[in-house]
Structure 1
Amino acid sequence: MEDITTNELKERLANGEKPFIVDVREPHEYDEFNIGALNIPLGSLPQRLDELESHKNEEIILHCRSGARSGNAKAYLLQQGYPNVRNLLGGMLAWQA
């Protein structure tokens, strides 16, 4: 599935959509600034997959600070059979730019 730009996600949120978003940053990063996503740090993802199970066939949007960790998380979820995973390009740096 194609990755998503910050503009596309902001537009969808402004239109009232409620996509399932996962923030793979560390808790202290999440506490500093977040967009209301579920916080599952990248290193915890394998142990916390059960929290995503009910969303397995939905679109899941992943983000981190710059897009690198969420890119790794996307690759991992695709390997685990999640078909509709998208990475937020540029992460929170692009979001706040």
Structure 2
Amino acid sequence: MLRLTQAPDIATAMLWSDLLREAGMPASVQRQHLGAAAGHLPPGECLPEIWLAHAEHADPARALLRDYERLPQRQWVCRACGESIEGGFEQCWNCGALMPR
């Protein structure tokens, strides 16, 4: 097992871990409950961590997380239902229509 990185919070840690697993890199979240110990332990020891099952996945995993952080953010209006969409979404969350190209 190899510690890949720390996440700022448990939600982000779970998202990153799921992203890595979907890409075929077995990953797990450790220290997910240490936030309750904040104030009793150094802050850097309380953050959730992403661990990889295989050390050879370290470079591709870092590249995947880097690419994920750079997803384009956009604002568009769905032509089908008129819903205003913000962020990295390419599909309307209201009706499911795809973003116009």
TM-score, L = length of structure 2: 0.30
* Structure (1/2) with the larger helix percentage: 1
Instruction: Return the structure number with greater relative CO, CA threshold 8 A, min gap 6.
Output: 1
* Structure (1/2) with the larger strand percentage: 2
